[in-house]
A and B are shown apart, each in its own frame.
Chain A
């Protein structure tokens, strides 16, 4: 009798577990980290799971390369995750789950404003697809200690690229620093400077356009700076293809006076430079065409229409978009908030030194100088193709495989071919 009771209990428990497992709704969240984002999301989503019994959100931490290369293939094959943190905001639009039917559209519009457009297919699209989780802006870091040692004044607000180039060269010469300037090897990173030189990036019909007088003027100057040693040649010439390469390590090592990168590097600078030298963030330099524009960007959390649980996916993203949760994540990850309410209230970044806090504040202040062209370019579906072409062809001009004119001709034809393939 006792044995029978034990067996019945075990069977019931087993069946209960099976039923529970069947009822549990598993959501896969493909996440990459610049710092601790995935770790924080995992922690925050534990509370969501507690509030929603039966929902299991699994945060799969992957390298950034997997988001760029594997995720699109998985989505095309119908084997993608339910949620992902992406940077190709407009490029993956065809796979996005429209959250509008599941969330308070008014709250989302008020909270995320223009960044919602970055995820849309075009002007006619009113869907809500992504929560911009990490607003970034490109801009320069300067080694203030090197400037001070060289006795060179930091060019003030409104200084041009030429002013910064002259000052950085003077610093490098006076201090024996290895490099005066460096810009990350990325099409995104040079977009802000190119806009400052007059690049339009769109034709009259709103189609992507890479080569114009402004872009060519920037390309000529950039190649010249690489040739005369103003720019660290290693960064762009030391790699092939469209491979990303930054110059953060050179800056951290104190070998570089002026480093053009972006707000996501603040944490790294804060952790690794420490009190080795005094570093600052200054606004993006101005170009001959007028704008002193950086390039906005960042990452967002999106759901995919191929999910089997659209309501839950929308609920998870909506939970992360709530002001108090978003503010907590921004503070813990030390990312600039795209949530207008959170940005308006200000964020006390956790564990940030005064230098890092000042740097993030400086980047946030520079957001108002972002040119509308740069803002639109960030949300353009074809921008990844344009970024890649920019890197490949500019690199070829820098190493002398092509003249600048030939590189521009190739860039234009590459883009035309890419557009033709995707239509």
Chain B
């Protein structure tokens, strides 16, 4: 084997040595990184740059050359509000409704999901019967396509759905879940938690299993209560994992679109319209196609996600320093 590889490597060595002489040893790393950088630039940086161009142009033409430059007009339109807390006072009221819906959704969904995921992970980490089965049950919804999740729950919750049939049978009487704004929003949060908590449970479970057993044994010998062990051992040692879960869940929450769009279409009215749906509808589904406004809104969302990521990095570094 070596007899085959060695001559090949000698052949490769010739241009590499020449390249090294040409670039110097420090710059050679860039030559190795170049293929990856080209692909990354093409599929990650270039779309961002193109997006910036779209955000600063107007009209409904797709081709950039046909689009007039409008500067910051799209951003101005989005931010034109006399009171940011009241979407009705904003020029782009649908954008601000989507922003506030997303804010509430992310707050509730992430809070509930991380809490339930932690609780589930703790239970599944204990020596309970059929533990493997329950782990599979909680992870199963993660494997479903978002549209399947939406259709299952729509089937359950529609006016003549399974839940209302049950409520009618019990004599309680059905509720038109998807036509009432509060119920539709509440169910959207619930479905999103149901669909995604298995993934975060899995991460937290791995984090729990990484905590050394002897720490708990020492606490038991010191007669620490279970609650004290949880607060003083589990939570501190799990905090790096919790941080990852929190940031991932936050980013995923802001990006929520497909399952809720298939579930409620964003309704009733705009009650479950989130920011990505707003971008999609302005840019692609509506008429005229306001690519500029959609691009500007997407850059604002990207900005929020960058801030969330920076906060994660900052907290990570701070924890590492401590």
A91 at the interface (CB under 8 A from B): yes
Across the interface, which residues of A come within 8 angstroms of B264, CB to CB?
Answer: 238-240
Task: Say whether A234 contacts B159, CB under 8 Å.
Answer: yes
Q: Which of B58, B97, B269, B271 contacts A421 (CB 8 A)?
A: B58
A254 at the interface (CB under 8 A from B): no
| Assembled-state Cα–Cα distance A240/B159 (Å) | 17
Which A residues, 62 to 116, have Cβ-Cβ distances below 8 Å to chain B? 69, 72-73, 76-77, 88, 91
Task: Say whether B266 contacts A76, CB under 8 Å.
Answer: no
Would you mind naming 10 contact pairs between A and B with Cβ atoms under 8 Å apart?
A69-B284, A234-B159, A238-B268, A239-B268, A240-B272, A240-B277, A241-B285, A385-B286, A401-B269, A422-B60
Across the interface, which residues of A come within 8 angstroms of B61, CB to CB?
Answer: 76
Task: Say whether A72 contacts B289, CB under 8 Å.
Answer: yes
Known: A76-B61, A77-B62. A240 touches B287 (CB 8 A): no
Across the interface, which residues of A come within 8 angstroms of B266, CB to CB?
Answer: 239-241, 243
Across the interface, which residues of A come within 8 angstroms of B270, CB to CB?
Answer: 240, 396, 401
Across the interface, which residues of B come within 8 angstroms of A169, CB to CB?
Answer: none
Across the interface, which residues of B come within 8 angstroms of A242, CB to CB?
Answer: 281, 285-286
Number of B interface residues at 8 Å Cβ cutoff, please give it: 34
Task: Say whether B267 contacts A233, CB under 8 Å.
Answer: no
A402 at the interface (CB under 8 A from B): yes
Task: Say whether A73 contacts B267, CB under 8 Å.
Answer: no
| Assembled-state Cα–Cα distance A88/B268 (Å) | 26
Stretch touching chain A among B44-52, B105-113, B174-182, B207-215 = B174-182
B290 at the interface (CB under 8 A from A): yes
A398 at the interface (CB under 8 A from B): yes
| Assembled-state Cα–Cα distance A297/B288 (Å) | 20
Across the interface, which residues of B come within 8 angstroms of A239, CB to CB?
Answer: 264-268
Residue of B nearest to A178 (CB): B159
B273 at the interface (CB under 8 A from A): yes
B101 shortest CB reach to chain A, Å: 10
Known: A233-B176, A238-B179, A385-B287. A73 touches B269 (CB 8 A): no
Which B residues, 80 to 134, have Cβ-Cβ distances below 8 Å to chain A? 88, 93-94, 97
B11 at the interface (CB under 8 A from A): no
Task: Say whether B268 contacts A395, CB under 8 Å.
Answer: yes
Interface size class of A (residues with CB under 8 A): 20 to 34
Task: Say whether B265 contacts A240, CB under 8 Å.
Answer: yes
Across the interface, which residues of B come within 8 angstroms of A398, CB to CB?
Answer: 269
Task: Say whether A406 contacts B88, CB under 8 Å.
Answer: yes
Known: A77-B63, A406-B88. A399 touches B58 (CB 8 A): no
B187 shortest CB reach to chain A, Å: 13
Known: A238-B267, A240-B277, A241-B285. 13 other contacts (CB 8 A): A91-B287, A238-B179, A238-B265, A240-B266, A240-B272, A243-B265, A395-B267, A399-B268, A401-B97, A410-B93, A421-B58, A421-B60, A421-B288
Task: Say whether A240 contacts B60, CB under 8 Å.
Answer: no
Across the interface, which residues of B come within 8 angstroms of A245, CB to CB?
Answer: 265
A334 shortest CB reach to chain B, Å: 29
Chain A 379-407 interface mask (CB, 8 Å, partner B; 1/0): 00000110110001001101111100010
A172 shortest CB reach to chain B, Å: 15
| Assembled-state Cα–Cα distance A76/B179 (Å) | 38
| Assembled-state Cα–Cα distance A241/B61 (Å) | 22
A55 at the interface (CB under 8 A from B): no
Task: Say whether B267 contacts A422, CB under 8 Å.
Answer: no
Chain B 56-70 interface mask (CB, 8 Å, partner A; 1/0): 001111110000000
A376 at the interface (CB under 8 A from B): no
| Assembled-state Cα–Cα distance A77/B61 (Å) | 9
Residue of A nearest to B264 (CB): A240
Task: Say whether B62 contacts A233, CB under 8 Å.
Answer: no
Chain B 292-316 interface mask (CB, 8 Å, partner A; 1/0): 0000000000000000000000000
Task: Say whether B288 contacts A385, CB under 8 Å.
Answer: yes
Task: Say whether B269 contacts A396, CB under 8 Å.
Answer: yes
Chain A 221-249 interface mask (CB, 8 Å, partner B; 1/0): 00000000000011001111111010000
